[in-house]
Amino acid sequence: MAKQPGWDNDLEKEFKKTIHRYFDEKINNELNSKNVLNVGDNLGQLLKDSEEDIVKIITPRAVKKWASPETLQLWESFLKNEQMVSELREIGKSIANSMRPLAGNNFAIWVTKVLNKAFKVEKLPIIASTTGEVKKALNRAIDEFSKNNKSFKPDIDIVVVKSGNVKVIAIISAKTTLAERVMQTISWNNYLQTLPKDIQKIKLFLVTAWEVFDKDSANKERVQQLDGVYVCNPDVKEYGNIKKFSKIIDDLKKLL
């Protein structure tokens, strides 16, 4: 959905000024009425207490920015009902909280389906799976050596198995976004190297949906520790082991 042409830079600047003014007034009122260190101790609560006011500021802005000309009048009528505006925030949170796991889980399934179709086309003796006995067995084997290090064992999203002897040749971590998850995957990779030799040989690949690793991305260097990073986005800036998703097939061929 594209933003409406009526939303211009001047409106955006005015919105930012309003938000900035609100937060300035909020903190200054606290600092003028209470001990400064007590204010610091309660900044988290102060942010929570600000949420209702912020919703009332950002909702009209979101409507004006994104509502179509056909629905704008309906939205403006809706904005006059403060209870509905307040409820919209909870509705939006519920939608977002439902969307995240749905997107993540189904992204891993989509990646698996694309891989298996490609394996079939290329006549490769390997299979990708998000479930099954091989994945369970690998989890159990890692669990056995992770009793004192549970923090280093994230979920295995996809396993790539050599057909016939059900040997795992790769683990794929599938993430729609890398926000706050890169170090988890890197820790996972490092931990694999402390496990028995047959597990150490398994390659750990990362597949992500939206990250493009532009020149300012701090993650660009961090992920070089992984065996391969594949992006399902044609705008990705390939660098080192960061590649377009289609190149994962050639890298898996090398493991055979």
pLDDT digits (tens, 9 = 90+) for 201-231: 788 898 888 878 877 667 788 888 888 999 8
Predicted pLDDT at 114:
93
Distances (CA, A) of 102 to 32, 80, 107, 144: 46, 33, 8, 30
**What average pLDDT does this structure show over 114-134?**
89
How is the chain split into domains, by residue range? 9-80, 100-255
Which one is predicted more confidently, 188 or 138? 138
Predicted pLDDT at 33:
83
Which one is predicted more confidently, 97 or 194? 97
